[in-house]
Amino acid sequence: GAVVSQHPSRVICKSGTSVKIECRSLDFQATTMFWYRQFPKQSLMLMATSNEGSKATYEQGVEKDKFLINHASLTLSTLTVTSAHPEDSSFYICSARDVGPGGANTGELFFGEGSRLTVL
Amino acid sequence: GENVEQHPSTLSVQEGDSAVIKCTYSDSASNYFPWYKQELGKRPQLIIDIRSNVGEKKDQRIAVTLNKTAKHFSLHITETQPEDSAVYFCAARTREGSNYKLTFGKGTLLTVNP
């Protein structure tokens, strides 16, 4: 299947700093990527939908100024956690959708490896 | 918006037994229902999916059933093996504007005891 690569896999930072996480679709073009947050032993919570060339669509309760998303190309989306605080510590996972039988946005969803953020 | 409920939250079975995980969804417009397996600290992996025009789909030891009228779908794993131990998530896909969005259930921790 298609491959989605996420980097870094682990990052530790000091409170107040910003952290950028990259999500790349390696062998397909993804017009849409998704960013999720997952707390220990909990489900994947969608944070935002990232559309190439346009602004991201954020879910209710997600601060767009704190979680900056940029989808500058068809293979790369970035999530920047600005002025990180300990409560931002979490597992962040991106996903990208391959083109499916119904056309764009209907294919299988592939997940990145995830990035574990620890804010001290 | 869509709401997906998943039960049970934990499930422990003996090796060789069957395991069943059930999910319900609220949005009748949802038309695609994937199941993901997530091992500890790893990414979710799609294991099987079903579309709304199909009632059942099987892939070796794994099967999924869908009841559109009742808005529920289930994952069935037969002849379970220790390597089946993981967290399983169901999801339902709805369309919002030009985007398709997946809503996940809360997950089921499956433990297969040897």
pLDDT in tens, chain B (114 residues): 889 999 999 999 999 999 999 999 999 999 999 999 999 888 899 999 999 888 999 999 999 999 999 999 999 999 999 999 999 999 999 887 777 788 999 999 999 999
Contact of A30 with chain B, judged by CB distance below 8 Å, is answered with: no
Question: Per the CB < 8 Å rule, is B105 touching A44?
Answer: no
B89 Cβ partners below 8 Å, 6+ apart?
Answer: A43, A44, B6, B35, B36, B38, B44, B104, B105, B107, B108
Q: What is the rounded distance in angstroms from the CA atom of residue A100 to the CA atom of residue B64?
A: 20
Could you tell me which of A95, A117, A115 has the C-alpha nearest to residue A107?
Answer: A95
DSSP reduced 3-state for A41: coil
* CA B39 vs CA A40, B46, B56: distances in Å: 12, 12, 25
HSE on the CB side for B111, CA within 13 Å?
Answer: 5
Please check whether residue A84 is in contact with residue A15, taking contact to mean a CB–CB distance below 8 angstroms.
yes
Q: Do B42 and A32 touch (CB under 8 A)?
A: no
C-alpha torsion sign, points A104, A105, A107, A113? positive
Name the pLDDT band for A18 (thresholds 50, 70, 90): very high
pLDDT tens sequence across A82-120: 999 999 999 999 999 876 555 555 567 889 999 999 999
CB–CB of A44 and B89 under 8 A?
A: yes
Residue in A closest to B51 by C-alpha: A106
